[in-house]
Amino acid sequence: MSTLSPGQKTTIAVVLICLVLLVVGMQYMIDPARPTFRGGGGVPSVSEISVGLLGAVLSGFREVVAGLLWVKTDDYFHEGKYSAMVPLCYIIVFLDPHQIDVFSTGAWHFAYNFTDKNELSDRRFIPTAVSFLERGVTANPKVYDLYAELGWMYLDKIKNYQKAVEWFEKARQIPDHPAHVDRNLAHAYEKAGNVDKAVEVWKEVVAEAKRKFDTDPKNYALGVDYGVSKHNLDITLARQVMRKDLWKKPKQANLQVRWKKLKPRVLLVEGKINLPPATRLDVILKDKNYDEELQKSFAWRIDNSTMYFNSVQIREDGTFSVRVDMDANPQIYRLQSEEYELQVIFNTRAAAVQVQDLTGWNGEGFVDPKYQDDSLGYRRLVFRTTLKKSDIV
């Protein structure tokens, strides 16, 4: 069997190095959007990713491998292998940190589509979704999309409206952002209780929508955009007038809550409240030491914390009941801690419009001597009690 001479080996090595440099150079040339998407880090370090993938990174075929892995991620979703999707998404954005769709769709899956058998979100993945989007923003600071995705996550899913304001404001600073960013910012300001600022943003949105419609008055879409924006401004101004005196005669909410174990891993939480039938209450059961910030850190496996979350609408007579069923999903509700906290919460800022017409944006329309909580700068109702593991299993 013939062997290569030292000169031949050197020649092959030089050719291979030239080919690698050529492929890497071409990768940059065929990506015309790279100056727009180039940003900081925001993706896992090399030490966080399997060394076996580094060959693909160095060879310049990162985007190809990332695309193939994204197809595999979709397979995992449809197979219900949710935990496997998280590290795979991190690998994909390590290979191609400018895949905006992977950041946005991956975070959407984490926060909305990982569910138990009762179609309730596995809330343990929501901090992961936030962290994933934050990495995307860091890697793509000149693109509005992921700022807006974070704003929507906080507005719609997490209900932290001040955080929603912060992210929509950042999205708004990106040139040529679409109009829905400004509209969502106005909604976020209203939900955060800053109604004057919401009105200010709506006025800017209406002025811009009118300017565009005036330049093309036959454009139906522009006309709808202007009309809807004007309606939102008008109705916000009307609500300011309707709700300005709610604090003078606050309603007694009189929240009552009781619970009992129906069988191992299944509780019944029920009670009564003196608020309108459209009122919704959040029912939460979580580890007593549950640390949401810890969930944001990257890990190859989701941890074993327990976080149950459901929302229940009260009946016409003010009563409510919800079955906290953790029996069908032991892989989600691990119940490995010794103590848990059961919470029942009414958040006026997340309430329906017709409920807020009585409770106000900041809870000024109700009081409750036992469960009133003003610690966040606005009024909520918060029932909480500590349960032992033996109370549940």
DSSP notation for 297-319? S--SS-----EEEEEEE--TTSE
Instruction: Report the pLDDT value the prediction gives residue 55, as an integer from 0 to 100.
Output: 52
pLDDT of amino acid 237: 98
Asked if residues 157 and 127 have their Cβ atoms less than 8 Å apart, the reply is no
With bands split at pLDDT 50, 70 and 90, how would you rate the model's confidence at 290?
confident
If pLDDT is split at 50, 70 and 90, which confidence band does 292 have? Answer: low
Question: What CA–CA distance (Å, rounded) separates 93 from 104?
Answer: 11
CA distance 293 to 53: 29
The residue type of 198 is: A
pLDDT of residue 289: 86
Q: What is the pLDDT of residue 363?
A: 97
For residue 333, pLDDT beyond 60: yes
Categorize the per-residue pLDDT at 126 as very low, low, confident or very high, splitting at 50, 70 and 90.
Answer: very high
How much is the pLDDT for 189? 98
Q: Residue type at 380?
A: R
The answer to whether the beta carbons of residues 208 and 221 sit under 8 Å apart is no
The per-residue pLDDT for range 204-259, each reduced to its tens digit, is: 999 999 999 999 999 999 999 999 999 999 999 999 999 999 999 999 999 999 99
State the pLDDT at residue 34.
Answer: 43
pLDDT-above-90 percentage for the chain = 67
321-330: per-residue pLDDT in tens? 999 999 989 9
- pLDDT category at 46 given cuts 50, 70, 90 is very low
Mean pLDDT, range 20-26, rounded to an integer: 53
Average pLDDT over residues 125-133: 93
What pTM, to 2 d.p., does this model score? 0.82
89-103, 220-234, 290-304, 306-320 — which is least confidently predicted? Answer: 290-304
Buried b / exposed e along 144-163 (16+ C-beta atoms within 10 A) = bbbbbbbbbbbbebbebbbb
Q: Lowest mean pLDDT of 1-10, 77-86, 88-97, name the range.
A: 1-10
Please state whether 346 falls in left (phi above 0), alpha (psi between -120 and 50) or beta: beta
Q: Cα(168)–Cα(192) distance, rounded to whole angstroms?
A: 13
What per-residue confidence (pLDDT) applies to 68? Answer: 76
Q: Given a cut of 80, is residue 356 above it in pLDDT?
A: yes
Domains and CATH numbers, the chain: 14-123 (no CATH), 142-244 (1.25.40.10), 248-392 (2.60.40.10)
CA distances to 120, 335, 388 from 330, rounded to whole Å, are 14, 8, 17
What is the CA 386 to chain-centroid distance, rounded? 28
Instruction: Report which DSSP code applies to 6.
Output: H
Which of 59-63, 93-97, 105-109, 380-384 has the least mean pLDDT? 59-63
155-202 pLDDT per residue, tens:
999 999 999 999 999 999 999 999 999 999 999 999 999 999 999 999
| pLDDT at site 88 | 87
Q: How confident is the model at residue 39 (pLDDT cuts 50, 70, 90)?
A: very low
Q: What is the mean pLDDT of residues 137-154?
A: 97
Res. 73 pLDDT band, cuts 50 70 90: confident
